[in-house]
């Protein structure tokens, strides 16, 4: 099965107004409604043709209020088909006088079930009978990468809330969780070979740097469980091990790898051990060991994100390190930037040797890594050049610019807690992304997709993290899925209303854009703004 975008667009145009009202986020690529009603009742039954996760699909339908027993004469049929490369998420959902038929490959079937569950949630229910209008939906995403990055280091989320987040991502057909597991305040992933990473490095968070703070991290067993849970729901988890900067937590545990601190201004060290020593062979071996354990824990990710951001804030001490001095002489490296590039290349070799692709923040786009083998995360919204140069050079890019996709930024002009940078990240801007960039067709070809990032320096509580996330993440889901011609903020807003009620019914904290809800702030609000905030 392969869906042509041209056909989908043509079908979409033909669908007119009613299609806008299907209660589904993200809005499907093509919807064709017709006259007629199909009534399902508990005895209608469900049948599975081909191998698939029957329990998961049954559960997805039940979540929408459609409780069906397995039966050979079922009215609802899932049929597994092989899709062409690049179309694994596509599905067709047909509701007609004959019943319901959902066709797709593994992920497509799950997405078809999710869409049917949304229709069921909104459909008239009477005496156990659920009525659906006849419709044919042909759906698949605009972008392959529809992601969310969660910073677990500055504040730790933990398994229970993380699983709930993954379930919600799946509801909106988001498919990548970029797991920022390490940073200066805390190291959150168990590494068997280096137990002090978690014994020492996982204690503390952004605002609690006591050496005896509780240890907070994911065990390898938990990680395997979370990865499998996400995978079943179409969410691939991509781990980030940030290096050579943002390294304090690891260096606190193993000080022999220290490369020097983050000099915030000349007398103040923000983080005393911000970098790994980029030139010490033992440090490279240590990082190599960590990366191979990480690769084993995330076998399907195929990508390891190596960070690479903001390293220059920790360059200050590099020229004094004996290993850096001799490396520079031996390799004829002129400056710190060249040392950083050398380090990135060595790490990329290790990642590639494990069979993984390297991903990194947009700094790595200019550090000499192989263009066809590197996934770049464009975050510096004020440096559009970086995005365009990377795309023009043929590099794959995930677009996650601070504005409008950093959820630690304010979402309402009335709020005071959170970042601003010449502006904020309100829901309509999130939804509209990336149309204002006006990328050329040639550039679009290299866009892997879109991603929101939640940095947690100012999001210490789960309530606040949810408040910053929802409903903006639902807007990212539609921006990443729905073809440009089918996006419509008015329609999205209408479909959002019942979703806000749903999220609340599940105890998820949301910002209500219709009521412009007041800010939910951390226990000690306001004072501590991020170190890189631009003065306004
Ligand atoms: C910059 S974005 C960082 C993070 C901070 C974030 C705060 C990026 C690649 N690095 O370390 O948490 O700003 O918004």
The per-residue pLDDT of the chain, averaged, comes to: 93
pLDDT at 496: 98
pLDDT at 529 exceeding the cut of 50: no
323 or 523, which is more confident: 323
Percent of the chain at pLDDT > 70 equals 93
Does residue 377's CB lie within 6 angstroms of at least one atom of ligand 1? no
Tokens of 362: 């947009």
Angle at 82 (CA atoms; ends 79, 85), nearest 5 degrees: 145
Does residue 532's CB lie within 6 angstroms of at least one atom of ligand 1? yes
C-beta separation of 116 from 139 below 8 A: no
pLDDT at 321 exceeding the cut of 70: yes
Q: Would you place residue 269 in the very low, low, confident or very high pLDDT band (cuts 50, 70, 90)?
A: low
**Rounded CA gap, 109 and 448, in Å?**
22
DSSP state of 535: P
pLDDT at 355 exceeding the cut of 70: yes
Does residue 421's CB lie within 6 angstroms of at least one atom of ligand 1? no
**Rounded CA gap, 307 and 363, in Å?**
9
pLDDT at 11: 39
Take atom 7 of ligand 1 and give the residue whose Cα is closest.
455
Does residue 406's CB lie within 6 angstroms of at least one atom of ligand 1? yes
pLDDT at 46: 98
Q: How far is the CA of 440 from the centre of ligand 1 (A)?
A: 28
**Rounded CA gap, 293 and 454, in Å?**
25
Strand partners, 240: 180, 305
What pLDDT digit, counting tens, does each position of 128-158 carry? 899 999 999 999 999 999 999 999 999 999 9
pLDDT at 6: 37
Does residue 270's CB lie within 6 angstroms of at least one atom of ligand 1? no
Take atom 4 of ligand 1 and give the residue whose Cα is closest.
455
pLDDT at 250 exceeding the cut of 50: yes
Does residue 407's CB lie within 6 angstroms of at least one atom of ligand 1? no
Tokens of 111: 């997405």
What pLDDT digit, counting tens, does each position of 493-526 carry? 999 999 999 999 999 999 999 999 999 998 764 4
**HEC sequence for 426-493:** CHHHHHHCCHHHCCCHHHHCCEEEEEEEECCCCCCCHHHHHHHHCCHHHHHHHHHHCCHHHCCHHHHH
C-beta separation of 103 from 50 below 8 A: no
**Rounded CA gap, 59 and 76, in Å?**
14
**Rounded CA gap, 357 and 351, in Å?**
7
* Atom of ligand 1 at shortest range from CA of 530: 7
48 or 536, which is more confident: 48
Omega of the bond leading into 179 within 30 degrees of 0 (cis): no
C-beta separation of 123 from 64 below 8 A: no
116-120, 166-170, 309-313, range with the lowest pLDDT: 309-313
pLDDT at 122 exceeding the cut of 70: yes
User: What mean pLDDT do residues 199-212 have?
Assistant: 93
| Interacting residues of 268 by C-beta distance below 8 A, sequence separation 6+ | none
What pLDDT digit, counting tens, does each position of 253-268 carry? 999 999 998 866 655 6
| Residue among 407, 408, 401, 405 nearest 379 (CA) | 401
pLDDT at 288: 98
**Rounded CA gap, 270 and 380, in Å?**
21
pLDDT at 13 exceeding the cut of 90: no
**Rounded CA gap, 147 and 397, in Å?**
12
Q: Would you place residue 274 in the very low, low, confident or very high pLDDT band (cuts 50, 70, 90)?
A: very high
């Amino acid at each position: 099965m392969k869906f042509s975008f041209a056909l989908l667009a043509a079908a979409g145009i033909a669908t007119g107004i009613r299609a806008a009202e299907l209660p589904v986020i993200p809005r499907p690529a093509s919807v064709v409604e017709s006259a007629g009603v199909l009534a399902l009742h508990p005895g209608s039954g469900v049948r599975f043709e081909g191998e698939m996760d029957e329990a998961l699909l049954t559960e997805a339908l039940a979540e929408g209020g459609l409780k069906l027993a397995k039966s050979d004469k079922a009215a609802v049929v899932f049929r597994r088909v092989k899709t062409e490369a690049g179309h694994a998420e596509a599905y067709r959902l047909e509701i007609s006088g004959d019943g319901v038929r959902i066709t797709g490959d593994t992920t497509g079937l799950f997405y078809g079930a999710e869409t049917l569950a949304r229709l069921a949630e909104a459909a008239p229910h009477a005496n156990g009978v659920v009525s659906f209008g006849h419709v044919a939906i042909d759906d698949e995403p605009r972008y392959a990468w529809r992601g969310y990055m969660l910073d677990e280091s500055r504040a730790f989320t933990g398994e229970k809330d993380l699983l709930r987040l993954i379930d919600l991502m799946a509801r909106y057909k988001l498919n990548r969780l970029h797991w920022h597991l390490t940073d200066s305040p805390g190291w959150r992933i168990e590494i068997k070979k280096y137990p002090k990473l978690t014994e020492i490095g996982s204690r503390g968070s952004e605002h609690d740097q006591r050496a005896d703070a509780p240890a907070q991290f994911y065990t390898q067993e938990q990680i395997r469980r979370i990865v499998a849970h996400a995978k079943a729901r179409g969410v691939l988890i991509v781990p980030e091990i940030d290096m050579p900067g943002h390294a304090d937590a690891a260096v606190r545990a193993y000080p022999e790898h220290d490369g020097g601190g983050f000099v915030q201004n000349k007398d103040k060290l923000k983080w005393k051990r911000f970098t790994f020593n980029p030139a010490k062979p033992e440090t490279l071996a240590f990082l190599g060991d960590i990366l191979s354990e990480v690769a084993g824990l995330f076998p399907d990710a195929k990508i390891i994100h190596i960070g690479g951001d903001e390293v220059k804030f920790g360059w200050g001490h590099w020229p004094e390190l004996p290993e850096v001095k001799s490396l520079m002489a031996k390799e004829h490296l002129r400056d710190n930037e060249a040392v950083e590039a050398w380090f990135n290349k060595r790490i990329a070799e290790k990642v590639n040797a494990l069979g993984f692709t390297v991903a990194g923040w947009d700094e790595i786009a200019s550090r000499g890594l192989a263009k066809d083998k590197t996934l770049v995360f464009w975050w510096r919204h004020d440096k559009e050049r970086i995005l365009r140069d990377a795309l023009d050079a043929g590099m794959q890019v995930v677009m996650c610019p601070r504005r409008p996709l950093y959820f630690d930024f304010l979402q309402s002009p009335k709020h005071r807690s959170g970042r601003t940078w010449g502006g904020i990240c309100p829901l309509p801007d999130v939804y509209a992304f990336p149309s204002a960039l006006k990328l050329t067709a040639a550039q679009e070809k290299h866009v892997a997709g879109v991603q929101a990032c939640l940095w947690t320096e100012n999001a210490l509580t789960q309530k606040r993290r949810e408040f910053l996330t929802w409903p903006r993440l639902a807007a990212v889901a539609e921006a990443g899925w729905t073809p440009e011609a089918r996006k419509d903020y008015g329609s999205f807003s209408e479909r959002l209303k019942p979703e806000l009620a749903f999220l609340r019914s599940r105890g998820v904290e949301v910002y209500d854009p219709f009521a412009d809800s007041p800010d939910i702030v951390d226990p000690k609000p306001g004072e501590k703004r991020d170190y890189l905030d631009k003065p306004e």
